[in-house]
Chains A and B, each alone.
Chain A
Amino acid sequence: QKEVEQNSGPLSVPEGAIASLNCTYSDRGSQSFFWYRQYSGKSPELIMSIYSNGDKEDGRFTAQLNKASQYVSLLIRDSQPSDSATYLCAVSSGSARQLTFGSGTQLTVLP
């Protein structure tokens, strides 16, 4: 059974701070890793994808992947109230291509 674990939160950070979201996965064969943002009542929106060890930056977002530790994280710099949402970690393994999602972390950025 492939599992993806996230801190359920909720996580609250003040505006302008760095929000750190973490995710671990059980399948060592996993090759593709994604972070989705989901606002209440909306569908998930892809914000980051990462495929190799290390950091990947896109604007205020940085994804970090450590395959040896089976760990992927998302950092949000200069957090804004508009970042308040549930963040979902998703993992894809090999040729399967379907995604296994974590339970999500609810983030609140306080003005």
Chain B
Amino acid sequence: SAVISQKPSRDICQRGTSLTIQCQVDSQVTMMFWYRQQPGQSLTLIATANQGSEATYESGFVIDKFPISRPNLTFSTLTVSNMSPEDSSIYLCSVEAPQGGEQFFGPGTRLTVL
């Protein structure tokens, strides 16, 4: 499976600021996804990021709050804007296997907002 890295691995941020999370894959992939895992909870899909098109957001998530870029087939960024303590979560990117179906996750970014 692909090797996926995320930066930063963790960060502590002040309320009202923004953080951009990077996801890098060692091979070209069509589909990339961004998830959020709040403390003690399961994973919730934020958006699907395809190269060359606008990200598709799930209900409850909006582009102004979570802008996403997908400049090429190996890289994507998620920005958490105007952060509040409720944004404290683990943010995970995932990629779909070339044959489709299976998804593999990056190591995650642990965000704490004070």
Please tell me if the beta carbons of B102 and A102 are within 8 angstroms of each other in the complex.
no
What size tier do the contact residues of chain A reach?
Answer: 20 to 34
Min CB gap B98→A, angstroms: 13
- Also in contact, A98 and B48, with CB within 8 A (given A43-B92, A43-B108, A88-B43): yes
Per DSSP, are chain B's interface residues mostly helix, strand or loop, or mixed? strand
Q: Which residues of A contact B48 (CB under 8 A)?
A: 97-98
Q: Which residues 19-46 in B have Cβ within 8 Å of A in the complex?
A: 31, 33, 41-45
A17 neighbours in B (Cβ, 8 Å): none
Q: Quote the shortest CB–CB distance from A101 to chain B (angstroms).
A: 5
- Among B41, B96, B105, the residue within 8 A (CB) of A97 is B96
Bound state CA distance, A97 and B68, in angstroms? 18
Give me 11 other A-B pairs in contact (C-beta within 8 A), A43-B105, A97-B96, A98-B58 excluded.
Answer: A42-B108, A43-B90, A43-B108, A44-B43, A49-B102, A88-B43, A90-B103, A97-B31, A97-B100, A99-B45, A104-B42
